[in-house]
Each structure stands twice: as C-alpha cells, then as structure tokens.
Amino acid sequence: MGDNPSRSGNHTAGDLDVTPRHARGAGSGVSPSSHEEPPIGGGGALPKKSRFSMETGFRGLSTSAGAMVLVIIVAIAIFLISKAVPAIQADHENFLTYNRWSPNEATPAFGIAVLALGTVLTSIIALVVAVPIAIGIALFLSHYAPRRLATPLGFVIDLLAAVPSVVFGLWGRDLFQEPVRDFSVWLNHYFGWIPIFGGDGPFGQSLMLGGLVLAIMVLPIVTSLSREVFQQTPGMNEEAALALGATKWEMIRTAVLPYGKPGVIAAVMLGLGRALGETIALALTLGITWEISFNLIQTGGNSIAANIANSFNEANDTGRGALIASGLVLFAITLIVNMTARAIIYRRREFRDSAA
C-alpha cells in the first residue's frame, strides 16, 4: 500500500542530499581558486562519498529509537518479575486459583483468580457491546452521513475519547447505576435461567455496570480508527462492486468491510488494551468482592487494575510484590490477546501485500 510513495520519497531525499556535495566537491577539485559556481550536476572529477553524512546519522537515530523499545520492554519485564517472584514464593495459597487477597498478613495468602476473571469479563462485555456499535457509527460516518454531518459528529466522538476515566467512573457510579440496575432486574426476571443473569440480588454495582462504562470508554477509539480504515477503501473497488449491481450495503459488505478488517481488528485490540488496563473507572463502579462468580448482574466483581489502585496504599513489601505479580498477569493477558490478533491479521497477509 503506502510503500511506493515512501520509497520514492527516500530516493528524492537521497538525491537532494548528494547533489550539493557533488557540486561542491567537483568545484573544489577542479578549480579551488575559482569563485564561479559549478553546475548543479557537477562538472569535474567524481567526488568521493563522504563517510559521515546525514544519511548515516538518521539511520543511527532511527535504529537506536527502535532498539529503545526493546530495552524498555525488557526492563519492565525484569522489574515486574524480580518484584513478583519473592512475593509469589511467600504466598501460602495457590496464586492462580485462590480467591482472597491478604498479602499483608504474617502468613500472606492471595490469588489472582477473582481479579483476572473480573478483568476478562468486564472487557468482554465492553467489546461485545462497543464493537458492533462502533463499526456501525464508523460506517455511518464514512459512507452514509453527508459530509456536513459526518465531520462534526466525528469530532464529537473524538472528544468522547478525551474525557478522563475518573469522570466516566463517577458518572457510572452516580448516574448510570440506576438504569443498569433496572436493566439487570429485567434481565434477571426474564433470563434468570441463564447462570450469568441469575442470582437474587442486590443488583447494581456489578460486572455489567463496569463493562458498560468500559464500553462507552472504548467506543471512540474503535470508532475513529475503524472510520479511518473504511475511508481508505479504494474508490475503484467500491465502484467495481456498484457496477456489478450491488446495493450500498452489498457494496460495503463486498468492498469496504473485507478491506477494513485488519484495521478494525487492530482498532478492537487497542480498545481491548484500554479496557483491560482501565483502573479508576472500574474501581468506582465494581462492587469489589472476592467471590469467584460468572454472574454479571449481581453486585460484586473486581479487576486487576482496580485492585492495585485500591490496595496499594496499605500494602507492605510483600503486598506490593503481590500487586506487581497481579500486574504481571495483566501484562501476560494483554500479550496473549495481542499475539492472537496479530496471528489473525497475519493469516491473510498475502492478500494485503499484493493489494498495492
């Protein structure tokens, strides 16, 4: 895709870089005393290429910037592991399955199970709710809305991404909780036979509330990235579909959605990254309990990041190590999700690369 222009851009940059040197070298080689400007193409002997040019300088700069990423990642991993391992060794219960968090006692006992489950469940709710809506909005903005409406609406959605998460948290806790509670009661009444909607209450500060608040938070990022890739669909492919007798929706299904799929997956991954790592909004909206439960609507739930925020102040050395260990688990979850997404994109790679 963007390969050719950027490559030719490089060529031009190289040429521009060489030409003045070339001219200067030729001038000084032939007639050092002459004040006459040599032609820009050089007139005399071919000058030697210089050993230290802007070219090598830029290459060094960009290489070190690339290497920096690796160094930082490795440094973070080493930090997390070195703090986490002693704490996990001090743990008197199974770190992966135990459902309490008491790392500050004389006999520390803590486990990640409830936290990891809460993190994953709220993120799943967020994506299940947000992604279809986001794709719908993105398609509306890119293909249905008149430009006069699309531009301001896109701006408003980008603005939604700028709202601080603590504001979402407070809003979710104080205002959004009521409708979600009513909705939960309704779900419980009609779909209570499904375990995730079962239970006898109380309802309200639940995984559902946290997940829905997260959904609103990931909506803008998924929307604006998806809109961006949908807009990049080559016009000639859209016309090809229309000329085959496609309706607008069929054209979108044939040309726009398949073309945008890798981009949408990347957008969803970024949204998921935000959902998994979200701290304060969940700390404010979840019920913070320590029961392992798949129930989405009963008051309860907890998440890794929210727990770190809630427990860090009163943590001793082992406590901090335990929290860092939970951070390591979050890191691992994010990594697995990202690698899966990359694998999905990679599978159809040849179809992307040949689509120059």
Partner 1 sequence: MAKRIEASNVSSYYGSFKAIDNVSMTVEPKTITALIGPSGCGKSTFLRSINRMHEVLPNARIEGRLTIDDQNIYDPDVDITAVRRMIGMVFQRPNPFPTMSIYENAVAGLKLNGVKKKSLLDDAAEKSLRSANLWDEVKDRLDRPGAGLSGGQQQRLCIARTIAVEPQVVLMDEPCSALDPISTLAIEDLMFKLKDRFTIIIVTHNMQQAARVSDKTGFFSIDKTGEPGRLIEYDDTQKIFSNPSQKKTEDYITGRFG
Q: Hey, is 98 helix, strand or coil?
A: coil
| 351 binding partner 1? (CB under 8 A) | yes
Q: How far is the CB of 350 from partner 1 (least distance, A)?
A: 6
Residue 53 tokens, joined:
């040019």
- Binding of partner 1 by 28 (CB under 8 A): no
Residue from 255, 275, 322, 323 binding partner 1 (CB under 8 A): 255
Length of the chain measured in residues: 356
Report how far residue 242's alpha carbon sits from residue 260's, in angstroms, rounded to the nearest whole number. 18
Q: Going residue by residue from 192 to 231, which x/- string records binding to partner 1, judged by CB under 8 A?
A: ----------------------------------------
**Residue 5 in contact with partner 1, rule: CB under 8 A:** no
Residues near 9 by beta carbon (within 8 Å), at least 6 away in sequence: none
Please tell me whether residue 245 binds partner 1 under the rule CB under 8 A: yes
| Closest of 160, 141, 143 to residue 151, by C-alpha | 141
- Residue 208, CB half-sphere, CA atoms under 13 Å: how many? 24
Please report how close the Cβ of residue 351 comes to partner 1 at its closest, in angstroms.
5
Report the residue from 258, 265, 334, 337 that binds partner 1 according to the rule CB under 8 A: 258
The CA angle 205-209-213, to the nearest 5 degrees, is 135
Q: How far is the CB of 8 from partner 1 (least distance, A)?
A: 18
130, 215, 241, 329: which one binds partner 1 (CB under 8 A)? 241
Among residues 226, 289, 294, 261, the alpha carbon closest in space to that of 99 is found at 289
Residue 21 within binding range of partner 1, rule CB under 8 A: no
CA separation for the pair 90, 99 (Å, rounded) = 16
Residue type, 147: R
Beta carbon of residue 298, minimum distance to partner 1 (angstroms, whole number):
44
List 242, 315, 337, 345, residue binding partner 1 (CB under 8 A): 242
The helix/strand/coil state of 298 is strand
Nearer to partner 1, 28 or 237 (CB): 237
Q: DSSP label at 296? A: S
| Contact flag: residue 354 with partner 1 (CB under 8 A) | yes
Residue 46 φ/ψ, nearest 5 degrees: -70, 125
Shortest spacing between CB 268 and partner 1, in angstroms? 18
| Contact flag: residue 345 with partner 1 (CB under 8 A) | no
Q: Does 138 bind partner 1 (CB under 8 A)?
A: no
Q: Which of 213, 203, 208, 211 is nearest to 298 (CA)?
A: 203
- Minimum distance of partner 1 from residue 140's CB (angstroms): 17
Among 236, 313, 314, 347, binds partner 1 (CB under 8 A): 236
Q: Is 4 in the site for partner 1 (CB under 8 A)?
A: no
| Residue 92 within binding range of partner 1, rule CB under 8 A | no
- Sign of torsion over alpha carbons 183, 184, 189, 193: positive
Residue 350 near partner 1 by CB under 8 A:
yes
Q: What does the DSSP 8-state code read for residue 176? A: I
Stretch of residues binding partner 1 (CB under 8 A), selected from 11-19, 66-74, 157-165, 250-258: 250-258
**Any contact of residue 113 with partner 1 (CB under 8 A)?**
no
* Contact stretch for partner 1 (CB under 8 A) within 91-99, 101-109, 186-194, 345-353: 345-353
The rounded distance, in Å, linking the Cα atoms of 109 and 115 is: 14
For 203, which DSSP code? B
Cα dihedral 262/267/273/276 (nearest 10): -100
- DSSP category for residue 197: G
* Binding of residue 174 to partner 1 (CB under 8 A): no
By the rule CB under 8 A, 2 interacts with partner 1: no
Binding site for partner 1 (CB under 8 A): 234, 236-237, 239-247, 250, 254-255, 258-259, 261, 348, 350-352, 354-356
